Structure 1
Amino acid sequence: MTPAARLSAAIEILDNWLAGAAPEQVLTRWGRANRYAGSKDRAAIRDIVYDAVRCRRSFATLGGGETGRGLVLGGLRAAGADPDGLFTGDRFAPSPLTEEERTVLDLRNAPPAVRLDLPDWVLPLMQDSLGADCEAVAHSLRHRAPVFLRVNTAKVSRAGAQAALADEGIGTTEHTLSDTALEVTSGARRVHISRVYQDGLVELQDAASQAVVDLLDVTPGMRVLDYCAGGGGKALALAAQGAAVTAHDIDAGRMRDLPERARRAGVDIDISAPGQSGDGFDLVFADAPCSGSGSWRRAPQGKWSLTRDGLDALCLMQATILDEIADHVRPGGRIAYATCSLFDEENMSQIKAFVARRPEWTLTASRRFTPLDGGDGFFVAILETSPGTR
């Protein structure tokens, strides 16, 4: 496909997204319907589409309208490219620019939420939660996230994993957020098919997510319940540190790949409901459902689909989860609450409200990560109760 044909495909896909379809689903359907498109074409189109989703408001301003065509045109202008050489109307190319489209608006005069590619109602939340870092964090969410790997130290050292990846043409550098983290610098699209990945020496996992697990201070033999396990990335990391992990999720289907991932990683994970294998865990960890605002550069659709009512519902769910996990801990044990959110009301405000409801629990540590630290946005709080209170 020519570069212009890729733009036309992206325009079609973005129009479907703006009509209400999920971008990943539209991309998949387009690929199946256009088998002639090679892997490089599909990758290039995906990049154009997701850049536009991340930068929806600023690209629409630069392109003169919130349409697939406007977003693609705005993306070209944001990158400093000349659209006339691509919008030619030739075979498979977008039609030439209209006189109206040749009028370029100055983004510097746009409202802050437009320049930062945020919904209007979200910007105050970001400002209240992040203070002076708000604008820098919002700008980071407009760009593609790095690809990170977690080294499975149950099988290999970080240096050993780097060497093995390099042999397969995948370049990496160590990341400071975690001793198990590698940032992929080249060959990212080869990770899934690499022998290093298939043999369980590495897993795809954000560096800040790995740092959250490090802060849990797990020791070999510790009984840990991962209460909101999802796909199981953190459960695998906990098991690699020697914990006896039980994984649970309210949607058991989300864990369907976990047994195979655990087998590949060479660890044992018990998948059962809390209580089936006995309560009284040393640590109960909950990476709670949340807005996902810390990971919007990876999943930018969430930035536009989140509503105020939806956030309120999530906050109610988070409070319920905190109360539930406290009942599965042994006397003197700990709970850890985490989100991939940047919003205070999902993070420290939840912890303060929980401690007010349950004064037997004491906050012992907390940390917030933002994309300025290099990984996704995460929050984690660790609480403990004295042996005599439960």
Structure 2
Amino acid sequence: MTPAARYAAAIVVLDQIVAGAPAERALTTWARTNLFAGSGDRAAIRDHVYDVLRARRSLAIAGGGDGGRALVLGLLRRDGIAPDTVFGAGGHAPPAMTEAERRVEGHAATDAETADLPDWLWPIWQDSLGDGAMPVALVQQRRAGLHLRVNLSRISRDAAQAKLLKDGIATVPHPEVVTGLTVLDQPRKVAGSATLAAGWVEVQDAASQIALAQLPLTPGMRVLDYCAGGGGKALGMADRLASRVWAHDVDPRRMIDIPGRAKRAGVEIDAIATAEVGAVPPFDLVLCDAPCSGSGTWRRTPDAKWQLTADRLRDLNETQASVLARGASLCAKGGAVAYATCSVLASENDGIVGAFLSAHPDWTRQQELRLWPTALHDGFYMAVLRRT
């Protein structure tokens, strides 16, 4: 496919998303009905779609509308790409620009439009981030980097870098965490690399690695990752402890890859079902990486920003409070629970922890980590609470 044809395909996908289809479903549907497109084409189309979704409102102003064609026009203008090199460029390119499209000047943007956030969310965002509200929102308009966690129980960071370079993947040490590497180029090569297959590295954002480094882990502890998902944090804790870690998720299907990942990394993780989790305690540390809006990671999942509603946020708050209470009930006397989200919204972080501490005077907050999205990492929150 030509570059212009890839933009044309992105317009088709974006029109489906604007009509209400989830981004991943729209991309998958397009790929299944256009089998001529190669992996490079699909990757480029995906990049265009996600570039638009990160900045959907501001691009709509630049392009003069909220349809796929206008959004792509806004993207080209923002990135300094001459629209005539795409629109009307022949072949399967989008039709040439109209005079009306050439004359689009856009209107004066509101703060919510500049920040590329829904109107209902902007006041909540401001209350949560204060002076950082607009800078953090603007950071989320651009792609995030790819970070790797080195399994230091098996290999040094320098040696992992050398092996990745043999795979054609250049990296640099992350400046904020000793386990971290930042991928400089060829990020799509990581999934098929020999270094990943050998279990020397795992894909994990630096924010999660920073949080793992701050957990109060000591040898011999009994540790549970209560909302384990794919097991990334359980793997990191097991590597650091060099001993077994337990993993649980309310949906066992999310943990399906954990046994294979653990074997590859040379660690022991015991996945337990919800019906069994009460028989294993007490634990010295329970990590509750609760379901959340993901607002600290919207660079990676921008569709989630537009799918979030006020009702959904309230439902998440109820779930988060329940998760923290249940995790705390599994702790031994003197044990700790680490409540975490990848959100920057106060209602999902300080609000949940504050309400729990008010209702449980025998618990105290010992540590708190608050990271906003930057060029170095995603957003993340963690509070370590201990039973006194």
TM class, shorter-chain normalised?
A: over 0.9
Unaligned runs of 5+ in 2: none
Q: CA deviation at 1:81?
A: 1.6
Does 2:235 match 1:236?
yes
* Stretch moving more, 253-262 or 27-36: 27-36
Corresponding residue number in structure 2 for 1:306: 308
* Stretch moving more, 329-338 or 174-183: 174-183
Q: Distance in 2 between matches of 1:48 and 1:363?
A: 43
8 Å CA contact 2:4, 2:94 repeated in 1: yes
Corresponding residue number in structure 2 for 1:336: 338
Q: Distance in 2 between matches of 1:327 and 1:77?
A: 54
Q: What whole-Å deviation, never above 9, does each CA across 1:134-181 have from its counterpart, x for those lacking one? A: 111100111111001011112111111101001111011111231101
Corresponding residue number in structure 2 for 1:46: 46
8 Å CA contact 2:278, 2:330 repeated in 1: no
Q: What whole-Å deviation, never above 9, does each CA across 1:42-94 have from its counterpart, x for those lacking one? A: 22111111101111111111111111111111100111121123211733111
Counterpart of 1:94, as a letter, is P
8 Å CA contact 1:148, 1:182 repeated in 2: yes
Q: Distance in 2 between matches of 1:342 and 1:49?
A: 24
Structure 1 residues 145 and 363: CA distance shift in structure 2, 3 A: same
Q: Distance in 2 between matches of 1:296 and 1:86?
A: 28
Corresponding residue number in structure 2 for 1:217: 216
Counterpart of 2:265, as a letter, is A
Counterpart of 1:227, as a letter, is Y
For 1:150-161, list aligned pairs within 5 A: 150-161=149-160
Among candidates 298, 304, 319, match of residue 321 of structure 2: 319
Corresponding residue number in structure 2 for 1:71: 71
Corresponding residue number in structure 1 for 2:385: 383
Corresponding residue number in structure 1 for 2:8: 8
Q: Distance in 2 between matches of 1:196 and 1:303?
A: 33
8 Å CA contact 1:87, 1:96 repeated in 2: yes
4+ residue segments displaced more than 6 Å: none
Secondary structure of residue in 2 paired with 1:101: helix
8 Å CA contact 1:229, 1:248 repeated in 2: yes
Corresponding residue number in structure 1 for 2:190: 191
Counterpart of 1:60, as a letter, is A
Corresponding residue number in structure 1 for 2:373: 371
8 Å CA contact 1:221, 1:244 repeated in 2: no
Corresponding residue number in structure 1 for 2:269: 269
Does 2:23 match 1:27?
no
Counterpart of 1:71, as a letter, is L
Among candidates 344, 353, 356, match of residue 351 of structure 1: 353
Q: TM-score, normalised by structure 1?
A: 0.96
Corresponding residue number in structure 1 for 2:81: 81
Q: Distance in 1 between matches of 2:270 and 2:113?
A: 47
For 1:280-299, list aligned pairs within 5 A: 280-299=282-301
Q: Distance in 2 between matches of 1:318 and 1:10?
A: 36
Corresponding residue number in structure 2 for 1:118: 117
Q: Distance in 2 between matches of 1:303 and 1:76?
A: 22
Q: Distance in 1 between matches of 2:80 and 2:321?
A: 46
Q: What whole-Å deviation, never above 9, does each CA across 1:173-223 have from its counterpart, x for those lacking one? A: 111231101110012111011100011111110000111111112122211
8 Å CA contact 2:248, 2:277 repeated in 1: no
Q: CA deviation at 1:244?
A: 2.7
Q: Distance in 2 between matches of 1:49 and 1:8?
A: 11
* Stretch moving more, 82-91 or 157-166: 82-91
Q: Distance in 1 between matches of 2:317 and 2:102?
A: 45
Q: What whole-Å deviation, never above 9, does each CA across 1:241-292 have from its counterpart, x for those lacking one? A: 1243110001111001111111111111011145465211000110000111
Corresponding residue number in structure 1 for 2:99: 99
8 Å CA contact 1:148, 1:205 repeated in 2: yes
**Count of residues in correspondence between the two structures:** 385
Q: Distance in 2 between matches of 1:39 and 1:225?
A: 39
Among the aligned pairs, what percent are the same residue?
50
Q: TM-score, normalised by structure 2?
A: 0.96
Secondary structure of residue in 1 paired with 2:29: helix
Secondary structure of residue in 2 paired with 1:372: coil
Q: Distance in 2 between matches of 1:279 and 1:320?
A: 18
Secondary structure of residue in 2 paired with 1:132: helix
Counterpart of 1:360, as a letter, is D
* Stretch moving more, 242-251 or 355-364: 242-251
Q: Distance in 2 between matches of 1:308 and 1:301?
A: 16
* Stretch moving more, 83-92 or 249-258: 83-92
